[in-house]
Amino acid sequence: MPQPISLFKQDNTRWKNLVLNSTINNGWSFRWVKNQSSQKMIHFANPGLKLPSRKVLAGRILIANSENIKNALIDIAQKDVFGVTVCFDEWKNIKKQEIMGKRLASELRNEQKIKYNKYFALLLLCATRWNSHYYCYFSLLQTKLALKVFISKYAPEEFDQEDQDETIYYSDKESETRNDKALPLDICKIIDNEVWWKEIRQLKKLLLPFCGALNKLQVENARLYDVLHSFGYFYKIWQEYSD
């Protein structure tokens, strides 16, 4: 039986990053770290190693490595021969009208800094594996409040914010800024629409169990038993939901 080897703080951080990178590169669901067989395997290799919880892996560790993940997803997209695409018209409209132009992107980053004291990278939908769509929705939900404040400052005068969740107070100077850099009205309505945000949350939730299975089935060496295991996995997941 291997002897436990304790890790230094920097090695422990590197270990958690390696777990995250392996999860993403192999298209695994974050739930794999909760699997007893996974934990037994790691314990056998080194009893001193511990897998991070699913919540920590998909939360703090994922956020800390968001920039590296974005670059990895871009690399995956460039190499992806299957071209799996989600047609999400509303977000495509935002993309076409270049909401992420350099000037407005800079202003949005300022709002993120004010609201969260950190920056979040917004990942755009592209022809890539399902994981990229999951991280796109994840990044949008992370910065929801900053986006809402952002449109309150840069929306055109005809934009009506009566249905906002929070009352936003802004100065005369900020009011002038709204007129100088007005965003397209349809974009503001989309970001302000709680139904749209609800659908984003639902899409993120629905995609999670598919991220690992679908990517595994797309590789060249996929076998029939992989298909059967995936269907079994989906069946088990959806049994937990009554609706």
pLDDT tens, 141-172? 887 877 777 777 777 777 654 444 444 434 44
By CB atoms closer than 10 A (0-12, 13-18, 19+), residue 19 is: buried
Q: What is the pLDDT of residues 181-232, one digit of tens each?
A: 567 788 888 888 889 889 988 888 888 777 777 767 777 777 777 777 777 7
CA dihedral sign of residues 160, 164, 170, 174: negative
Q: Which of 209, 154, 206, 163 shows the shortest CA–CA distance to 182?
A: 154
Mean pLDDT, to the nearest integer, of 10-29? 78
First to last CA, the chain: 46
CA distances from 203 to 119, 140, 165 (A): 23, 12, 21
Residue 122: predicted pLDDT: 59
DSSP secondary structure code for residue 30 in this structure: G
Q: Which of 115, 91, 86 shows the shortest CA–CA distance to 196?
A: 91
Q: Which of 35, 50, 10 shows the shortest CA–CA distance to 233?
A: 35
CA distances from 147 to 100, 123, 142, 192 (A): 12, 14, 10, 9
Contact 185, 156 (CB under 8 A): yes
**133 falls in which pLDDT band (50, 70, 90)?**
confident
CA dihedral sign of residues 109, 114, 115, 118: positive
pLDDT above 90 coverage of the chain, percent: 0
How many other CB atoms are found less than 10 A from the CB of residue 243? Answer: 2
CA distances from 211 to 48, 70, 202 (A): 29, 16, 15
